[in-house]
C-alpha cells in the first residue's frame, strides 16, 4: 500500500500550531484513529508532547488502543498517556506528540478531514 508523502497531507501540529479547543487526530501508524480535544493552545515548532490537559475522544485502532481505553472521555495529559502505553510497550514514544497529530478541521474552519469508510 502506497503512503502519501507528508507534504501532501494535512500539516502536523508542530508545523501549524493549534488553538485551544481544537480536535487533533493521529497521523501515524501507532496513533491511527486517535482523537483528542486540547485545552491549551499548542505553539508552532514544538514537536514534543502536547502541552497541558486534553480529553481523549477516541483511542483509535492502533497497537496502543487497548492501553488507552481507560483514559477515554477523561481529562488527561501526555504523561498519563505515555504511562498507559509503556505498561505494555516500554520503549514506545508518545502517541500524543505534536509531530504525530494534525488538526481535525470542521466545515466552518477549513478543509474537512475525510473519515475512512
Question: For position 18, what pLDDT does the model report?
Answer: 97
Does any domain span residue 116?
A: no
Question: For position 91, what pLDDT does the model report?
Answer: 87
Question: For position 106, what pLDDT does the model report?
Answer: 66
- Which residues does 43 contact at the CB level (< 8 Å), separation at least 6? 17
How far is residue 72's CA from residue 33's CA, in Å, rounded to a whole number? 13
**Mean pLDDT in consecutive groups of 10 residues from the start of the chain, 117 residues:** 46 96 95 97 95 97 94 96 93 92 72 39
Does any domain span residue 85?
A: yes
Q: Which residue range(s) make up the domain with 98? A: 6-107
Question: For position 3, what pLDDT does the model report?
Answer: 38
Looking at the structure of the chain, the number of domains it has is 1
Does any domain span residue 34?
A: yes
Amino acid at each position: 500500500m502506497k503512503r502519501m508523502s507528508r507534504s501532501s497531507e494535512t500539516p502536523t501540529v508542530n508545523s501549524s500550531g493549534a488553538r485551544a479547543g481544537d480536535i487533533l487526530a493521529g497521523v501515524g501508524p501507532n496513533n491511527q484513529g486517535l482523537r483528542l480535544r486540547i485545552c491549551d493552545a499548542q505553539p508552532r515548532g514544538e514537536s514534543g508532547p502536547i502541552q497541558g490537559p486534553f480529553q481523549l475522544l477516541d483511542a483509535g485502532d492502533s497497537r496502543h488502543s487497548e492501553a488507552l481505553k481507560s483514559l477515554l472521555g477523561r481529562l488527561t495529559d501526555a504523561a498519563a498517556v505515555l504511562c498507559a502505553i509503556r505498561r505494555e510497550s516500554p520503549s514506545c514514544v508518545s502517541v500524543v506528540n505534536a509531530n504525530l497529530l494534525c488538526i481535525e478541521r470542521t466545515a466552518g474552519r477549513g478543509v474537512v478531514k475525510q473519515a475512512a469508510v
